[in-house]
Chain A
Amino acid sequence: MNDMDKIEMGVHLCDVHLKNPVIAASGTVGFCDEYQGLIDFSKVGAVSLKGLTLQERAGNEGVRICETASGMLNSIGLQNPGIDAFLMQYLPKIQALDTVLIANIAGNCMGDYVEMARRLANVKAIKMLELNISCPNVKQGGVAFGVYPKDIGRIVRAVKKVCKQPLMVKLSPNVASICDNAKAAQDAGADCLSLVNTVHGLAVDLDKACVIVKGGLSGPAIKPIGLRQVYEVCKAVDIPVVGMGGIKNAKDALEYIACGATAVQIGTAIFSQPSVLQETVSGIQEYLRKKGLNNISQIKGVIK
């Protein structure tokens, strides 16, 4: 046994054991199969799969991505095959992966979320649900579910009634008070929280005088935003928090964990460096070893 093996990297996210605290963020590795050969998912704590909707969704028209300084804007619009096609065609191909699979669900209305949680309730390969409440809610005039504490409470309570897996609620950073929203989710029964989703942003073409992409900003540019919100939410709630936003290496991940996160998710950094998930895991181990620590929990929340 070498030094590395003695370091305990496992974390408990609610009842679910992850072999390490590094999770692939929803929407960035699809349903895993596209990244086979580039990412060894068995080395990753968990994967949050591409956001699912009840019906198939064609996603947004026009240009969907635009690189910006230290980040990128996306406006994919949740293009996905729908939950049934996912269960029939995609899940069978990945359920044997030696990692924890998290289904990320998004809806147009409360009924959609509840119905999806119901359809996933007995799916053994899905160990956790991540409720994406930061997408536009058509039935409520385009306001996202995740904006007001009252709406968050309603939707989390409704989903909790039917879902059998632990429920992770993914919070939007584009809100008045992230802590009020986090507490509303906790009070309604959320088992853990993940934050942040992308930050509202815009890229324009000056010469053509038009919008290039109006969408969500991700990548290193948003790390200070994510870090602050995670730091504050960790103080405000008792349930575990999964931190994300701009993580590109072990140092970034450790900063989130030191601010109180139990685990982290990495998204955009995968595009330029598919090995970033594994490298973050080994980088965290290396850091702990250097510091003479033997358990990831010893770093958690050390920044007060």
Chain B
Amino acid sequence: MAKDYLTKVIQNKSLAKEMVALRLQVEGEFPDLAMGQFVLIQVPGRPDIVLRRAFCIADYDKASKQISVVFRVIGEGTAVLARVQAGQELQVILPLGSGWDMTKYQTQMEAPIRHIWLVGGGIGVVPLCGIPKEYPQFDYTSLLGFRGKDDSVLAAYFDNSQIATDDGSIGHQGMVVDLLRPAYDKQKPDLILACGSVPFLRGLKNIQTQGWLQSTQNTPIPIYASFETKMACGVGACMGCVIKVDGQKKRVCKDAIFDLTKVEL
């Protein structure tokens, strides 16, 4: 169950230009967390900013009661959060959302999961980076897309990664979806987990509808995706964050993560 925790900033680290990692110490009992879940952080000292900011859990450590978030500075709220100092306190609601659930995905597949693709774009790679640690029994290939060399620092969180950048400053010049076919021809995955902006996920869904993403059993490879929409409550109460899934409006904060084939983008 989500609670509003008082946390203390342990470290504020600049990863690249306008990219920040915050490590927070949670006071009180540390909750059960899963990768893919997110938190809502109150923007400190700014009562005029009336909504909290949502960030995926990039990493956590139960023993030290710490969580990390990684974010890009895109506006006022993230600019304030990028300036917090070690020792400063932040109110953080966690854990929110459902997190990746391989056991659930497995029940909907015939063949056992062995090899998983992690497909992410930009800051959207964050909720994917902790998966190999949480599920070490699987093999992974990470296909990651970035704007340029600067934000590609996030690739360091992944072991077996292939990169595409818009400007070609590192890896393949182009889109991350360009990496799919060659990777597929090399080794077919059993499952794809994805996260990124809506245009990014739309691109991935287009590839999916082309039909060649078939498993070794010749069945369509399932793609589960984590979404970002504007949120107010983050807990499922306000109905502000919905997307259309299977013809119904589903809450991204509460009902996520979704089977990409079922999402209308």
Q: How far is the CA of A74 from the CA of B229 in the complex (A)?
A: 14
Closest Cβ of chain A to B165, distance in Å, is: 24
Q: Which residue of B lies closest to A29 (CB)?
A: B237
Count class of interface residues, chain B: 20 to 34
Residue in B2, B48, B51, B238 whose CB lies within 8 Å of A220: B48
On whether the beta carbons of B240 and A30 are closer than 8 Å, the reply is no
A76–B238 CA distance with the chains assembled, in angstroms = 8
Cβ–Cβ contact A76 & B240, under 8 A: yes
Interface residues of B in 14-58 (CB under 8 A from A): 42, 47-52
CB pair B232–A30 under 8 Å, yes or no, is no
CB of A132 closer than 8 Å to a CB of B: no
| A58 in contact with B248 (CB, 8 Å) | yes
**Is A27 engaged at the interface, CB distance under 8 Å to the other chain?**
yes
Q: Is the CB of A72 within 8 A of B51?
A: yes
- B236, A34: Cβ atoms under 8 Å? yes
Which of A72, A248, A271 is most buried by chain B, counting CB atoms within 10 A of its CB?
Answer: A271
Assembled-state Cα–Cα distance A211/B261 (Å): 29
**Chain A residues touching B, majority SS:** loop
> Beta-carbon contacts of B246-257 to A below 8 Å, as 1s and 0s?
001100001000
| B144 contacts chain A at the CB level, 8 A cutoff | no
Neighbour of B230 across the interface among A65, A79, A272, CB < 8 A: A65
Chain A contacts with B in 24-82, Cβ cutoff 8 A: 27-30, 34-38, 50, 58-59, 63-67, 69-72, 74, 76, 79
Given A34-B236, A58-B249, A64-B230: A272 and B242 interface contact (C-beta under 8 Å): no
Count of A interface residues, CB-CB < 8 Å? 35
Contact partners of B237 in chain A: CB under 8 A: 28-30, 34-35, 50
Known contacts A67-B49, A67-B50, A72-B50, A272 near B4 by CB under 8 Å: no
Most buried by A among B235, B237, B242, B249: B237
Q: In this complex, what residue of B is CB-closest to A80?
A: B239
Residue B156 CB within 8 A of the other chain: no
- The 3 A-B pairs with the shortest beta carbon distances in the complex, nearest first, are A30-B237, A37-B1, A65-B240
Q: Which residues in A have some Cβ–Cβ distance to B below 8 Å?
A: 27-30, 34-38, 50, 58-59, 63-67, 69-72, 74, 76, 79, 219-220, 248, 268-275
